[in-house]
Amino acid sequence: PSPRSSVIIIGAGVSGLSAAKVLAENGIGDLLILEASDRIGGRIRKEKFGDVSVELGAGWIAGVGGKESNPVWEIAAKLGLRTCFSDYSNARYNIYDRSGKIFPSGIAADSYKKAVDSAIQKLKGLESNCVEDATNRTDFTLTPKTPIELAIDFILHDFEMAEVEPISTYVDFGEREFLVADERGYEYLLYKMAEEFLFTSEGKILDNRLKLNKVVRELQHSRNGVTVRTEDGCVYEADYVILSASIGVLQSDLISFRPPLPRWKTEAIEKCDVMVYTKIFLKFPYKFWPCGPGKEFFIYAHERRGYYTFWQHMENAYPGSNILVVTLTNAESKRVESQSDEETLKEAMVVLRDMFGSDIPDATDILVPRWWNNRFQRCSYSNYPMISNNQVINDIKAPVGRIFFTGEHTSERFNGYVHGGHLAGIDTSKAVLEEMRKDERQNDKQNQNL
């Protein structure tokens, strides 16, 4: 068996690494990080596509320019990460119908205002009725019917909730969003973070306190410590465990607990909705879409909600890359994940030909991330009910004995975001340090009594 560690951190995404860094800075040298996949980063992940780096997971630093400074923005600025400002506000004026006509701006603005008003009305109704849960981002508006209403409903609720209810990220950190457009990727931030407390050489992490390809399957816990078993048959012992696996993983049966988690915990975990959000990248021999100010985002209005609705061209991020990105969510994401990429490419081409005419060229390449089918993710991010007291999130976050829970889904104010994961990791490690101090005080007392 491996020597006992003070703390084992499960998962090397932003929350796990932030937690580990704080522990290391506080003198916890014997920590161990177990990561299921073959890389650090988790839901922050770049991949080469065409000649550029695209972000399969988190793409934006959201919440910039406000009264408080977003800590992730600060780190990015310090590292000189290349970013582009994203102005979503024009998207509503680039709504195409199936015959390729753009809806007149008056109609689009009107439909948009109606959708926002009805969502606010509905929300107020829910608040006054004290509905505690059972609502999510997609099912609380008056039912939209026409393709343009459906499209607006999709962009409003699957993207820009800030207009309907205050979101802490935008209230606290500001309303601007910046797309990371750096060849080193958003994940560069995490490598730099890891470098501060793990041994690295030539950009590679060589520290044996980070173990990759270690899929944790069982946590056996008692008053004295935690035994961690991995899929490859290894056993690790620790005083404390910080578990940063996503809410989707917690809802799956990947990790079992001995004794099982208490009911209040499993019920809370079940109550949290998971959002699947998929960015599909398409590469073309040349660009055939409008570029220039106000054209970065465009919308396709179809009679099926969320059917290849939200598009972005990458000319601002990477001029000359000839890449389009289309975003799908939830049921559409799952549907596309389960079919071949060729089929998805065909569907996307029909949509693009509806908008831009039959003589546009076929895409030469496609990239379809599969966050839902990835057993180490099982979601893109947590999605708490719109009207809920904080009980669910507090229960998800609360430790069970010596197992502490972290990750974006444990952040009360910033769940769903990179900065949420980052701040959650810091918070959780501080809570563990506090417990360790309590242990020490107790041991001291016992020794004095002897």
Q: Which residues bind ligand FAD (CB under 6 A)?
A: 10-16, 34-37, 42-44, 57-60, 62, 214-216, 244-246, 249, 254-255, 277, 279, 371, 376-377, 380-381, 407-408, 416-418, 420-421
Q: How far is the CB of 55 from ligand FAD (least distance, A)?
A: 8
Which of 150/325 has CB closer to ligand FAD?
A: 325
| Of 118 and 278, CB closest to ligand FAD | 278
Report the nearest approach of ligand FAD to the CB of residue 450 (Å).
40
> What CA–CA distance (Å, rounded) separates 291 from 318?
12
What residue type is 108 in one-letter code? A
- For ligand FAD, which is the closer residue by CB, 59 or 147? 59
Per the document, the length of the chain is 450
Enter the tokens of residue 449.
Answer: 């009594």
Is position 72 annotated in a ligand binding site? Answer: no
Nearest-approach distance from CB 264 to ligand FAD, in angstroms: 22
Shorter beta-carbon distance to ligand FAD: residue 8 or 386: 8
Structure tokens, 333: 């994401």
Comparing CB distances to ligand FAD, the nearer of 216 and 355 is 216
Task: Give ∠ CA 160-164-167 in degrees, rounded to 5.
Answer: 70
Residue 172 CB, shortest distance to ligand FAD, in Å, is: 14
DSSP annotation of 94: -
| Ramachandran area for residue 320 (φ above 0: left; ψ -120 to 50: alpha; else beta) | left
Residue closer to ligand FAD (CB basis): 134 or 234: 234
The response to whether 15 counts as a known ligand-binding position is yes
Assign 336 to helix, strand or coil: helix
Q: DSSP string of 41-86?
A: -TT--EEEETTEEEESS--EEEEESSSS--HHHHHHHHHT--EEEE
- Encoded amino acid at 50, one letter: G
Least distance (Å) between residue 240 CB and ligand FAD: 16
Q: How far is the CB of 109 from ligand FAD (least distance, A)?
A: 26
- Interatomic CA distance for residues 411 and 431, integer angstroms: 14
Cα-Cα-Cα-Cα dihedral of 292, 297, 303, 305, to 10°? 180
* Rg, the chain, Cα only: 23
Residues annotated within the binding site are 15, 35-36, 216
Residues annotated within the binding site for FAD are 15, 35-36, 216
